[in-house]
Each structure stands twice: as structure tokens, then as C-alpha cells.
Chain A
Amino acid sequence: MGRKTPLHEQHVALGARMVDFGGWDMPVNYGSQIEEHHQVRRAAGIFDVSHMCVIDVRGRDSRGFLRRLLANDVDKLQAPGKALYSCMLNADGGVLDDLIVYFMNDEWFRIVVNAGTRDSDLVWIRARAREELAHFEIIERVDLAMFAVQGPTARAKVVDLLEPIDREATPALQPFAGRFCGEWFVARTGYTGEDGYEIMLPFEEISAAWLALVAAGVAPCGLGARDTLRLEAGMNLYGNDMSERTHPLESGLAWTVAFEPASRDFIGREALEHIREAGGGTRKLVGLVLEDRGVLRSHQKVLIDGVGEGEITSGTFSPTLERSIALARVPRATGASVQVDIRGKLLPARVVKPPFVRHGRALISL
């Protein structure tokens, strides 16, 4: 049996189909995955993401440590509550994980990492911390749970749950910013391409919050819908679309690497600079739309006439577009069309720039 989140009983009571995900028992759906997907695009859905790992970095040298640890630059975070998406790289520029880092105050940052990399991340971060003669602590917040509410009506549903004192400032949060509402940390972030919040709160409070939101008509959504939503939104999944064996410049993540200021020596910088000087590497991550019926899946081979071969890193059926879409790592010279080998048949696919869908609307022509 895997690890259980504090919402395990709620999932079972709602009839969820449970699966193992990174060592955790998680709901994949509560009935129809496609219906859950549409609920998020059209109204609001709630996801249990308590399997993700919250790590606090505290102490007066926290900022300096994170400027070395992360490929994006936490100096972009100056206002309390602001968030930043970043990769954490090894010395070769390989992606150890992707994460969100929040700036709380000058002596406190919070990072949220993936469930599957939780243990290896903690080992890596603590080892890097030991290399520094500086003042900060690394604290794994096992006392916190986390849920996400996403969709066009998500923010209003959450604000209704807050104390009156928080009902003005919270709706006014900008994207990628958060604030404390009592002991809850409410951030306007997510993994679906819709508006909404991700909320970290004391472990023992999540059940009541979940039940209140479900009672208010927010649809419980599983990892299945989370995956089709994030892929439509063109967001990478760690372990599928990038890993230790790939670098950000061939993973559609060049925008998250802060090469400026040149004086900031982050882990992986030297390796990435060599790759960048050589033209950014031989491969790139692109979006694909299948022209015919069928479903693109990870590991299917991509053939590019006169150029070479690539591979699908994530593929699915897009419920919003009613077409199959994918992310694929292909040679840099790949043009506008490719073929995908689906069970021995070569089917044409169009190369597009993700995202495929944002805020309920298709961003690619069909």
C-alpha cells in the first residue's frame, strides 16, 4: 500500500478509482475523466495535491542559497507572496526537478516539488546546503496538505470559504502571487491553464475545506484530468517531458533559465552555456496535433522526412479539442509536419507551438 493523503477517505467515499502515483495512493478519476476535465474548463474542479512536497528554506542567507540552487533567479521575487517557476539542475544541466518557489520574506522562501522526486530532491538540497557556510535551514513541511481549485469560477468558490477579512485582498492577487489567509497560504497558481488557486494549509484542516468546496458544487477531479488539462495547457510533466537526461533548452524551458545577470553562478550554468554557444543543442520540444483519428502516446516514434527521428514525451486525447495532442522531442531542424508511428502505421501530425488551450479556448487552428 502506498502513502495516503489526508483526503484518502473522501476519495474512497466519492467512488474514486485509486492508483499508485510516485508511491502515493491517489485518485485517477471519480467516474468520467473527460467530464472532470470539462468541469475545470467550464466551471471549477478541485484536486488533492497533498502528495507534493512543501519545503521551507529559512534564515538570512536563504536567497543566496536559492540563487545558486535554481536555474531561474529568485532575485526576481521582491514582493512577499510572489512565486516563480524554476528548474533545479545538476552540474551537467540535466533537470533534477521543476518546482515553484515562493518568497515569503527576507528570511523565508517556500518551494513545492513533485511527489515522485520528493526524496531525491531533499537529499540533493540538503547536500548542496552543507556545502555552504551560511545561515539557513531546510524544513520539510510534513504538517501541511495542499489542494488546487481551478476553473473560471474557482476563485469565487474559494473566496466564499475565507474569513471576511481576507475577502478583498485575496481576489485581488495577481497571477503567480499568494498571501496568507490565517494559516492558509493561498496562491494564484495552478497546472491546468485555467484561473484558480493552489492552497497549502494545516493537514487537519483540508478535509473540511474539501467537503465545503464539493458541497458548493466544485467537481472533484483526479490525476487523469490533471494530466489532460496540463497537456492542453502545454505544461511539462517531470519524468515525461524532461528528466535528469535532458536539459531545459531542449525541453521548451529556456524561458525559465535566467542567464542574466552573468555573475550569478547557478548549478548547471556552465554546462548550459556550452550548449547555448553551440546553438542550443540538437533537439527541441514541440507540440503535435494528430491530423487523423487515433491517440498519440508517450514513447511513440516521430519521423521527420529528410531530418531524422524524434519521440513523443507526453500524448493524449484532448477533450477540449476532440483531437489527439502531444509534446515531442524532435531534431531542431524539424519543420511544420511530421509522421508518428502508431502501432506500425504512419499518421501525419502538425507541429504547433504550445499551449493548445488556455482559459477554455483553443489556441491552435483545427
Chain B
Amino acid sequence: MSHIPADRRYAKSHEWVRLLPDGRVEIGITDHAQQALGDLVFVEVPEPGRVLGAGEACAVVESVKAASDVYSPIAGTVLENNADLGGAPELINQDCYGKGWMMRLQPVSPDALDALLGPEAYAAQLAAEGG
């Protein structure tokens, strides 16, 4: 059973977005996504300053099996990426909602989060996918 915290919102493509108190947002991939990928061995995250559109492929997670794109759920500018993932991609397997965060953005519009799925809607999507 996959874990879906209530304090954030979700993209259909299995990323999560958490609004931080200062208006920035933190992005990573969901528990369902990390389980489906298996052991991660390489993560490529976008450089600070990069401007991302909503739905843009901006990072890559590679497991022993395959490489998968990660899409930015909302539009914004990259402020920081999680440098720890370079040496320890398994942080995403171990703690995808915490130490396994991938990047922090300055969103174009904080309202953009409203267009994403809430935890119940994301859970319903997983159930519909059979996961």
C-alpha cells in the first residue's frame, strides 16, 4: 500500500508538491512512483535558475531497470536542488517525502497548486490504475 501524506498535492504523473511557509514549493516523486521504479541508482536534477513550465520534463530518475523523466507539476524558477541525491539516490527510496525531495521552485503563481490533485483524488487515481 502506498503512502500519501495529506500535507501536499499531487500530479497525475506521480510527483508531489508541498507549499513551504515562505511561498516556495518543494517537489519530489511519490511513494507509488519510487516503489514502481525500484532501487534508484542515479538522479539528475535541474540547475538553479532554470525556468520550468508546468508539465515540463526537468529531472531524470534512473533505477537499475530504466530511466524515467520527472515533470514539474507547476511553472516556476528552480531555486535549489537536493545535492545529497548525487551521492545517495537511494534517499528517494528511503524517504521520498522528506530527505528525498528533488527541487525547490519559486512558483509563477501559488494558485497553480489548486489545479493539482488532493491526496484523496491521487489515492483514487492509484486505485483506478490498480496500484
Contacts and interface: CB of A to CB of B under 8 A. Distances in A.
Interface of A: 17, 28-29, 32-35, 224, 228, 293-295, 297, 316-317, 319, 324, 343
Nearest to A294: B42
B80 interface: no
Given A224-B38, A317-B42, A293 B86 contact: yes
Nearest to A29: B38
A224 B64 contact: yes
Given A34-B64, A224-B64, A317-B62, A293 B42 contact: yes
Nearest to B35: A17
Contact of B39 (A34, A324, A343): A34
Interface of B: 38-39, 41-42, 44, 60, 62, 64-67, 86
A316 B42 contact: no
A33 B39 contact: yes
Contacts, number: 37
Nearest to A293: B42
Contacts of B66: 297
Contacts of A293: 42, 86
9 contacts: A28-B65, A29-B38, A32-B38, A33-B38, A33-B64, A34-B64, A224-B38, A294-B44, A317-B64
Contacts of A35: 39
Identify the interface centre among B62, B64, B65: most chain A CB within 10 Å of its CB.
B64
B62 A295 contact: yes
Contacts of A32: 38-39
A33 B60 CA distance: 20
Contacts of A343: 60, 67
A140 B57 CA distance: 49
Given A33-B64, A224-B38, 13 more contacts: A32-B38, A32-B39, A33-B38, A34-B39, A224-B64, A228-B64, A293-B86, A295-B41, A295-B67, A297-B66, A297-B67, A316-B64, A317-B64
B42 A319 contact: no
Nearest to A342: B67
Contact of A33 (B62, B65, B67): B65
A188 to B, nearest CB: 28
> 4 tightest A-B contacts by CB?
A317-B41, A34-B39, A295-B62, A295-B42
A294 B61 CA distance: 10
A28 B63 CA distance: 13
A319 B64 contact: yes
Contacts of A316: 64
Contacts of B42: 293-295, 317, 324
A324 B42 CA distance: 10
B128 to A, nearest CB: 20
A74 B127 CA distance: 55
Identify the interface centre among A17, A28, A34: most chain B CB within 10 Å of its CB.
A34
Nearest to B90: A34
A327 B39 CA distance: 22
A324 B44 CA distance: 15
Contacts of A29: 38
B34 to A, nearest CB: 12
B65 A224 contact: yes
B29 to A, nearest CB: 17
Contacts of A228: 64
Nearest to A323: B41
A130 to B, nearest CB: 42
A302 B60 CA distance: 21
Contacts of B67: 295, 297, 343
Nearest to A316: B64
A15 to B, nearest CB: 11
A316 B39 CA distance: 12
Contacts of B39: 32-35
Nearest to A35: B39
A349 to B, nearest CB: 15
A206 B42 CA distance: 37
A343 B57 CA distance: 12
B33 to A, nearest CB: 14
A246 to B, nearest CB: 24
Contacts of A17: 38
A316 B42 CA distance: 11
Nearest to A343: B60
Contacts of A294: 42, 44, 62
